[in-house]
Structure 1
Amino acid sequence: MASVPFHYVDLRTFCYATEDEKRVEQALRRFLPEEYEIQRAVNEGHHGDRIVVLSARVENADDVRHVLRQLSELPDIERIVGELDERVDDNCSFFLRLDKQRAFKGEVEQGPGITLRAKVEAYPAKQPAAVENAREALEQAREHADA
């Protein structure tokens, strides 16, 4: 795989008072390279309950490739590639929600729980160019995973 057309990938999830933080962290780590640093911020919910925000920013090209390889396992990756016009905004950010429960089980599926936001490189920085770059990167990741 050649260059990676992403400046960075942000992954973020919330750990609610009813959840085991170690399990939520394990779900987030499903998409990250080994030993990756996860930021932890403690907040308070509307009713005074504790909410821990776990997040990581992946910037290194090899680490971004790792995240993309995880995404290539999505069973509906073809549909996601087809929806890139709606998934990439005018600021060239690509959005995807990943299922936290499935990730904890080692699976990769779309769903609630983990938010992925990837800043797509595009010159000029326009949405159509970003969509095309994201499409190429996801297709390359899928081909690399199939190889």
Structure 2
Amino acid sequence: MTHSVFHWLRVEAFVYATEKEDLVKETFSSLVGTDEFQTEISEGEHGNRMLILQFMASRQKEMDAVFGALGQKVLSDLTADLENRIDDDCVFYTRLDKQKAVQGEWAIAHHGDVISITGKVASNPAKKEIAVANMRNYLGSFAPSQAPREGAPEQAERSRT
């Protein structure tokens, strides 16, 4: 895509004291496509050390890296549920299962231990319906190529003779 799909896109995860920090950072890095992200040390509600990992994508290439990493299953699930994932302010929300992610699988989460992806979808005028359509087109751009299989042009040529 030549124009930016988002005004901003934020990816965020919490690393709790009971988790392997390096593993979560490595997983986060694989999602955002770089190891250059913010790491903030914080304190959990029980006084335990906690890290907050945050990546703000400012270029379309960075945004594409995030969505390109998710795989067809997640992209398909997101596309099917866009009406519920974009609010009236054109902000897109999704959460990925962090425990599955560290095991190498991207999946949409339905619980609290997540990697969150939030972004303001560009739409003019700023209406939910337009944002949903723009996001649907964007996610569709990651579909596998529908290029002809090898040999298909030859078969077509033979069928004409």
TM above 0.5, yes or no, is yes
Select which of 83, 92, 95 maps to 1:94.
92
| C-alpha displacement of 1:129 | 0.9
Identity of aligned residues (%): 32
Counterpart residue identity of residue 17, structure 1? A
Give the TM-score, by structure 2 length.
0.80
Counterpart residue identity of residue 114, structure 2? G
Give the distance between the partners of 2:7 and 2:29, measured in 1 at CA.
20
Go from structure 1 to structure 2 and tell me whether the alpha carbon gap of 1:121 and 1:15 turns closer, same or farther (over 3 Å shift).
Answer: same
Go from structure 1 to structure 2 and tell me whether the alpha carbon gap of 1:45 and 1:34 turns closer, same or farther (over 3 Å shift).
Answer: closer
| C-alpha displacement of 1:2 | 3.7
| C-alpha displacement of 1:123 | 0.6
| C-alpha displacement of 1:25 | 0.7
**Which is greater in Rg?**
2
Query: Could you say which structure has the greater relative contact order, defined with CA pairs below 8 angstroms and 6 or more residues apart?
Result: 1
Counting matched residue pairs gives 144
Match of 2:12 in 1: 12
Match of 1:138 in 2: 139
Verify the 8 A CA contact 1:9 1:116 in the aligned structure 2. Answer: yes
Give the TM-score, by structure 1 length.
0.87
Give the distance between the partners of 1:11 and 1:79, measured in 2 at CA.
18
Give the distance between the partners of 2:72 and 2:51, measured in 1 at CA.
27
| C-alpha displacement of 1:76 | 4.3
Verify the 8 A CA contact 2:72 2:143 in the aligned structure 1. Answer: no
Match of 1:108 in 2: 106
Counterpart residue identity of residue 138, structure 1? L
Q: Which runs of 5+ in 1 are unaligned?
A: none
Verify the 8 A CA contact 2:12 2:116 in the aligned structure 1. Answer: yes
* RMSD of aligned alpha carbons: 1.9
Q: Which runs of 5+ in 2 are unaligned?
A: 148-161
Give the distance between the partners of 2:46 and 2:97, measured in 1 at CA.
25
Give the distance between the partners of 1:107 and 1:9, measured in 2 at CA.
22
